[in-house]
Amino acid sequence: MIGKSIQGFRILEVRDAGAMGVVYKAQDPHLPRVVAIKVMNRALVDDEVFLERFRLEARALAMVQSPHIVTVHQLIDTPDDLAIVMEYVDGRSLQVLAEEESLSWQRTCRLLRQVLLGLAQAHEAGIVHRDVKPSNVLVLKDDTVKIVDFGLAKSDRAGRNLTQTGASAGTLYYMSPEQVHELKDVDARSDLYSVGMSFYKLLCGRLPFESTTSNYEILKEIVERDFPPADHFNPLLPPALVDLLAKSLQKKATDRFQSAREMIEALDEILSAHPSTTDPRGSGLRRSLAPSSIRGTESRSTPPAVADPPDGGETRISLPPSDRHQEPPPRAASAREETPRESDASLPPPVRPSSTRWRRPLTGVGVLVLLGVAALVVRSLLAPGEPEAAHLSIVTHPDGARVYVDGVESGLAPLLGFARDPGPVHVRVIRDGYLDRDSTFVLTAGDTTAVSFALRPVPTEEPIAPTPQTALSLEINPWGRVWLDDRPAGGEQVRSESFPVEPGTIRVRVRHPELGTWERRITVKRGESRPVQVDFDRRWPVVVTSQSAEGGYLMGEIFVDGIATGDNTPKEIKLRSGEHAIEVRRPGYTCKAVRLGVYGAVTDPIRVVLQAQ
Note the pLDDT tens digit of each residue in 43-67: 666 667 677 777 777 777 788 888 9
d(CA 391, CA 319): 10
For the chain, which ranges sit under pLDDT 70? 1, 17-20, 42-47, 49, 151-170, 182-185, 211-213, 276-387, 447-448, 461-468
Three-state SS for 535?
strand
**pLDDT for the residue 301:** 33
According to DSSP, residue 217 is labeled H
The sheet with strand 423-430 has its strands ordered as: 408-412, 402-405, 423-430, 437-443
Residue tagged active-site, from 28, 46, 81, 131: 131
Residues in the chain: 613
With a CB cutoff of 8 Å and minimum separation 6, the contacts of 352 are 231, 239, 242
Instruction: Report the chain's C-alpha Rg in angstroms.
Output: 27
Output phi, psi for 481, to 5 deg: -90, 135
User: How far does the chain reach from its first CA to its final CA, in angstroms?
Assistant: 46
CATH 1.10.10.60 fits 471-535, yes or no: no
Percent of the chain with pLDDT over 90: 24
Strands (E) in 437-561, as ranges, are 437-443, 448-454, 471-484, 487-500, 504-512, 516-524, 529-535, 539-548, 557-560
The pLDDT tens digits for 251-301 are 999 999 999 999 999 999 999 988 764 433 233 323 323 333 323 333 333
**pLDDT for the residue 319:** 42
Superfamily of domain 5-87: Phosphorylase Kinase; domain 1 (3.30.200.20)
d(CA 5, CA 13): 12
d(CA 204, CA 77): 43
**pLDDT for the residue 348:** 39
Output phi, psi for 307, to 5 deg: -75, 150
Q: Are 260 and 191 contacting, i.e. CB atoms less than 8 angstroms apart? A: yes
Is position 131 annotated as part of the catalytic site?
Answer: yes
Domain ranges of the chain: 5-87, 93-354, 366-377+390-461, 471-535, 539-612
DSSP conformation letters of 50-99: HHHHHHHHHHHHHT---TTBPPEEEEEE-SS-EEEEEE---SEEHHHHHH
* CATH classification number, 366-377+390-461, choose in 1.10.3720.10, 3.20.20.150, 3.40.190.10, 2.60.40.1120: 2.60.40.1120
Name the nearest CA neighbour of 188 among 137, 144, 254. 254
**pLDDT for the residue 387:** 60
Q: Are 401 and 410 contacting, i.e. CB atoms less than 8 angstroms apart? A: no
Q: What is the mean pLDDT of the chain?
A: 75
Fold type of domain 93-354 = Transferase(Phosphotransferase); domain 1 (1.10.510)
**pLDDT for the residue 1:** 66
**pLDDT for the residue 549:** 86
CATH architecture of 539-612: Sandwich (2.60)
Cα–Cα–Cα angle for 106, 100, 132, rounded to 5 degrees:
65
**pLDDT for the residue 466:** 58
Side-chain-side CA neighbours of 377 within 13 Å: the count stands at: 6
| Three-state SS annotation for 10-51 | EEEEEEEECCCEEEEEEECCCCCCEEEEEEECHHHCCCHHHH
For the whole model, what pTM was predicted?
0.47
Domains 366-377+390-461 and 539-612 equal at CATH topology level: yes
